[in-house]
Structure 1
Amino acid sequence: MEISWLGHSCFQLRGKNVVLIADPVTPQQADAEVASQLSKVNASIVTVSHDHPGHNYVQGVGGNPRVVRGPGEYEISDVLITGVASYHDDERGKKLGRNTIYIIHMDDLVICHLGDLGHVLQEQQLEEVADADILLLPIGGGNSIDATQAAEIISQVEPRVVIPMHYHPEKTEGIPAQLNKFCREMGVEAIEPQPKFTVTKNSLPATMQVVLLTPR
């Protein structure tokens, strides 16, 4: 599988037979070059964590994909997807509403996309997410979890690979403050971002690894 970050919370998962786009991002929420890349993408499946312009730009994805919105179990083109109910804030959705976590079984891997999660995982959510090999999670704070909460969730789930999202890599030298805080929380040194991450079940690292991607 090849994992690419298209900016904000948007990822492309390119499997052997299926392409999945998670949380397609609007041009207004992404740099112009990221949005133009999204418009060129064809996908079989699109997942939407919540109905917000930064996460629901389904019309920007070509290929007439099947769109998954909300909790439930879905099987599309041999990909099993479980949507898990959660909240966009730490007051059970009273401020910002609901969010859906997606657990995606694809090419013998289990990928979890937390969407705009606003709280640490509760017991029932953790049971669903516990088998994740790869965890895609926000770290930027604001309307979703921050670096400290992200580190707590990682310790809850214990995935093999962690890919942070929902922060804004400045186009200047140096590490963005949100990312710097996350690396400190995780106790890792500065990591060189890469344009994509290629992984199979057999190539998963033995111990947890943080992978940084550059948005494209």
Structure 2
Amino acid sequence: MEITWLGHSCFQLRGKNVTLITDPATPQQNDGSEASPLSKVNASIITVSHNHPGHNYVQGVGGNPRVVRGPGEYEISDVLITGVASYHDDERGKKLGRNTIYIIHMDDLVICHLGDLGHVLPEELLEEVADADVLLLPIGGGNSINATQAAEIISQIEPRVVIPMHYHPEQPESIPAQLNKFCREMGVEGIQPQPKFTVTKSSLPVAMQIVLLSPR
């Protein structure tokens, strides 16, 4: 599987037979320009964690994809997706509403996309995501979990690969407050961003690996 970050919470998961897009971002959520990284992307499946601008730009994706919105179990083109109900804030949705976590079984891998999760995981949710090989999680704070909460969730799930999202590397002044804090929380340094990450079940690292991707 090839994983590419298209900015914000939007990833392209390109498997052997299926391409899946998570939380398609509106153009202004990436770099403020008119061009969207989705403009040349076709997909079979789209997952939308919540219906807020920046996460639901499904019209920007070509290929007539199936759109998954909300909790439930879905089987599309041999991809098994489980949507798990959660909240966009730490007050059970009173401030920002609901969020859906997606557990995606694809090409013998289990990918967990936390969407705009706003709280650490209670026991009942932890059981749902415990088998994740690759964890895609927000670190930027604001309307979702911050770096400290992200580190706690990683210790709860213990995935093999962690890819942070929902921070803004194109804004240099924000990097120390977001990405650098996350790296300090995780006790890592000197990680260089890469344009894409390719992984298979057999190539998963033995020890947990943090992967930084450059937004496309």
TM-score by structure 1 length?
Answer: 0.97
Q: Quote the residue 2:129 is aligned against.
A: 129
Which region of structure 1 is more displaced relative to structure 2, 36-45 or 193-202? 36-45
Residues 35/51 of structure 1: CA separation in 2 closer, same or farther (3 Å cut) = farther
Is 2:74–2:81's contact at 8 Å kept on the other side of the alignment?
yes
Is 1:213 the counterpart of 2:213? The answer is yes
Is 1:143 the counterpart of 2:143? The answer is yes
Listed as ranges, the gaps of 5+ residues in structure 2 are none
Partner SS state of residue 149, structure 1: helix
Q: Quote the residue 1:96 is aligned against.
A: 96
CA RMSD of aligned residues (A): 1.5
Is 1:3 the counterpart of 2:41? The answer is no
Q: Quote the residue 2:81 is aligned against.
A: 81
Distance 2:122 2:137 in 1: 16
Partner SS state of residue 39, structure 1: coil
Which region of structure 1 is more displaced relative to structure 2, 76-85 or 167-176? 167-176
Distance 1:180 1:34 in 2: 29
Distance 1:139 1:180 in 2: 10
Q: Quote the residue 1:28 is aligned against.
A: 28
Q: Quote the residue 1:67 is aligned against.
A: 67
Which region of structure 1 is more displaced relative to structure 2, 164-173 or 145-154? 164-173
Amino acid at match of 1:75: E
Residues 148/55 of structure 1: CA separation in 2 closer, same or farther (3 Å cut) = same
Listed as ranges, the gaps of 5+ residues in structure 1 are none
TM-superposed deviation, 1:176: 3.9
Partner SS state of residue 163, structure 2: strand
Seq. identity, %:
88
| Deviation by residue 1:147-204 (Cα, 9 ceiling, x = unmatched) | 0000000000000000000000035599542000000000001210000000000000
Partner SS state of residue 53, structure 2: coil
Residues 35/12 of structure 1: CA separation in 2 closer, same or farther (3 Å cut) = farther
Residues 121/34 of structure 1: CA separation in 2 closer, same or farther (3 Å cut) = farther
